[in-house]
Amino acid sequence: MQLKRVVVTGMGALTPVGNNLSEFWENLLRGVSGASPITRFDATRYKSQFACDVKNFDPLAFFDRKEARKYDLYAIYGMVAADEAVRHSGLNLEQIDLDMAGVIWASGIGGLSTFHEEVAAYVKGDGTPRFSPFFIPKMIADITAGHISIRYGFRGPNFATVSACASSANALADAFNYIRLGKASVFIAGGSEAALTEAGIGGFNALHAISTRNDDPATGSRPFDKDRDGFVLGEGGGALIFEELEHALARGATIYAEVAGGGLSADAYHMTAPHPDGLGAIKSMRDAILDAGLKPEDIDHINTHGTSTPLGDIAEARAIVNLFGDHAYTISINSTKSMTGHLLGAAGAVEAIATVLAIHQSMVPPTINHFTDDPEIDNRLDFTFHQPKARPIKAAISNTFGFGGHNVSILFKKFSGK
Among all residues, which ones are annotated catalytic? 165, 305, 342
Q: How far apart are CA 5 and CA 173, in angstroms?
A: 13
User: Hey, how many other C-beta atoms are within 10 angstroms of the C-beta on 110?
Assistant: 26
Burial (CB < 10 A; 0-12, 13-18, 19+), residue 3, is: exposed
Q: Evaluate whether 413 touches 258 at the Cβ level (below 8 Å).
A: yes
Closest CA relative to residue 169, chosen from 253, 238, 121? 238
- Which amino acid is present at 59? P
**Which residues 6+ apart lie within 8 Å of 54 measured at CB?**
14, 15, 16, 19, 77, 235, 236
How many CA atoms lie less than 13 Å away from 1 in the CB half-sphere? 6
Q: How far apart are CA 354 and CA 129, in angstroms?
A: 45
Backbone angles phi and psi of 342, in degrees to 5: -105, 110
